[in-house]
Amino acid sequence: MKLYHVPATVRTAEVSLNPDNGTIKFSGISIPEDSEAFFRPVYDWLAAYRATNPTNKVVATFSMTYFNTSSVRHIMLICQYLIQNFSDNLEIVWEYEEDDDDILHRGEEISRIMKFPLTLKAID
């Protein structure tokens, strides 16, 4: 498997999926015009990673500053997939700027809905 990396744009988040250390990271703004097309390669990568590394530890970090409704849906679907397939070896980190209560509350809401503890981490 190869590293999957998409640099951030004005409308899309930076995405880094690293099979060597099991890290998954989304950061920045996510308001893609076609969220299905943007997230499809992520789902494909996750399925391939699971097929080749079913017991490896996975650390998924979401460091989002803004996202739209369709991105939230995909974030939740990604979390759900990770929980279903890696829950014994999974940490989901939800980073938020110290003064951004909206992003913090969204992380708390996702944790509650998914019934999985997210590590909530304030950043400067």
- Neighbouring residues of 97: CB distance < 8 A, sequence distance ≥ 6: 65, 103, 122, 123, 124
Domains recognised in the chain with CATH numbers:
4-123 (3.30.750)
> CA-to-CA distance for 18 and 67, rounded, in angstroms?
23
Taking residues 85-104, report their average pLDDT: 96
What is the tens place of the pLDDT at every residue in 6-52? 999 999 999 999 999 999 999 999 999 999 999 999 999 999 999 99
* 3-state SS, residue 18: strand
Is the model's pLDDT at 53 over the cut of 90? no
Whether this model's pTM surpasses 0.85: yes
